[in-house]
Chains A and B, each alone.
Chain A
Amino acid sequence: MEITVRALWTLVHGMAFGGLYLLACSGAVVELGRRYAPAAASPITARDETFLRVYFIAMTVLAWLTVLSGAYIVYPWYRALPPAAAAHLANYPQRLLLSNPATAAWHSLGMEWKEHVAWLTPISITMATVVFLRYKREIKNHPLLRNAVLCFVVVSFLAAALAGFFGAEIDDHAPVRGGAILHLMQGGHS
């Protein structure tokens, strides 16, 4: 069982960072919407506050790791140009997608959208985290601010989900592969 370095980085970018962000974000939307609503019944304890502070910081770190690993590690492999005489485009995913009219839109629409919309996620969640760290439980007393921040968090989720969907489909049609091969496990004979 083996995996290439490029495939591993694509997995780390999409699943470890991006996938975890999506999971965490859905929890944050529920928590902000329910516990921090002005009409919320139970009081917010210092322990709740600390938990959410760590949670939001972790989400922010994940969001930045996702876009930075995508743009500066995986994307250069994706958009690499093949040599003029290249017969096979397997190691050049962008060119491979564009070489077939049936898959070209995965680049011209999918990647073109994904590479930009994904950046709305770290912008939105960084803002939300800083507002939350600054106001803490007092944000309950600023319902308009809380609602606006919640909208940004929801958009960050949508942007990450769009990027995740296109990333998964693009990698399905033209996977980023190549580089050193890592041997994960020795297979047995049956």
Chain B
Amino acid sequence: MIPHPGTDSKSPTALPNGPGAAALLAAGIGAFLLAALAVAADHLPAISRLMIFYRPTGPLSGVTSSAILVWLAVWAVLDARWKRRTVALRTIAVTALALLALGLVLTFPPLGDLF
């Protein structure tokens, strides 16, 4: 079997990289979505009201719960699709890390306020 370009194929292993790639990409998406929802709730009163799942905690409850639910759902779907596959891990890892970095940057209020 010819390894997929961009995969780390130095030594053949029993486990393909698919499950790991699914976990990485889902975590990147989750981190980015959390920051994006936080920015949206901060700027749009309608979203802010929608995100109040638990009143004492305010919109933070909905922002975090929604991001976590989507993260876990995306992870489950990607894992089901990739669990026996070898995928282009380099591209996926770079995408996941870029999403994580964006998530980190967007949570910084002065940068989130630019949108």
Q: Which residues of A are in contact with B by a Cβ distance under 8 Å?
A: 38, 67, 71-72, 75-76, 79-80, 108-109, 112-113, 115-117, 119-120, 123-124, 126-127, 130-131, 134-135, 138-139, 141-145, 147-149, 151-152, 155, 158-159
- In contact, A123 and B54 (Cβ under 8 angstroms): no
Could you tell me the distance between the alpha carbons of A32 and B86 in the complex, rounded to whole angstroms?
23
Q: Does B23 contact A (CB under 8 A)?
A: yes
Could you tell me the distance between the alpha carbons of A123 and B31 in the complex, rounded to whole angstroms?
7
**Is chain B's binding surface mostly helix, strand, loop or mixed?**
helix
Instruction: Select one of B15, B24, B42 contacting A148, CB under 8 A.
Output: B24
Given A71-B64, A108-B109, the answer on whether A143 and B10 have CB atoms closer than 8 Å is yes
- In contact, A124 and B100 (Cβ under 8 angstroms): yes
Q: How far is the CB of A5 from the nearest CB of chain B, in Å?
A: 16
Q: In B1-53, which residues have CB < 8 Å from any A CB?
A: 7-8, 10-11, 13-15, 17, 19-21, 23-24, 26-27, 30-31, 34-35, 38, 42
- In contact, B109 and A113 (Cβ under 8 angstroms): yes
Return chain B residues, CB-CB under 8 Å to A75.
Answer: 56-57, 60
Could you tell me the distance between the alpha carbons of A123 and B32 in the complex, rounded to whole angstroms?
11
Could you tell me the distance between the alpha carbons of A147 and B29 in the complex, rounded to whole angstroms?
18
**Is chain A's binding surface mostly helix, strand, loop or mixed?**
helix
Q: How far is the CB of B104 from the nearest CB of chain A, in Å?
A: 6
- In contact, A117 and B104 (Cβ under 8 angstroms): yes
Q: How far is the CB of B97 from the nearest CB of chain A, in Å?
A: 6
Return chain B residues, CB-CB under 8 Å to A113.
Answer: 107-109
Return chain B residues, CB-CB under 8 Å to A134.
Answer: 15, 19-20
Return chain A residues, CB-CB under 8 Å to B7.
Answer: 144
Q: Taking CB as reference atom, which chain B residue is nearest A109? A: B109
Q: How far is the CB of A101 from the nearest CB of chain B, in Å?
A: 17
Instruction: Select one of A76, A108, A109, A141 contacting B57, CB under 8 A.
Output: A76
**Sample of 13 more A-B contacts, CB < 8 Å, known A109-B110, A116-B60, A127-B26:** A71-B64, A75-B56, A112-B42, A117-B104, A119-B67, A127-B75, A131-B20, A135-B20, A143-B8, A148-B93, A151-B97, A155-B104, A158-B104
Could you tell me the distance between the alpha carbons of A151 and B104 in the complex, rounded to whole angstroms?
13
29 of the cross-chain contacts (CB-CB < 8 Å) are: A38-B10, A72-B56, A79-B58, A109-B110, A112-B42, A112-B109, A113-B108, A116-B107, A117-B104, A117-B108, A119-B68, A123-B30, A123-B31, A123-B34, A123-B68, A123-B71, A127-B24, A127-B26, A127-B27, A131-B24, A134-B15, A135-B20, A138-B15, A141-B13, A144-B90, A145-B17, A148-B24, A148-B93, A151-B97
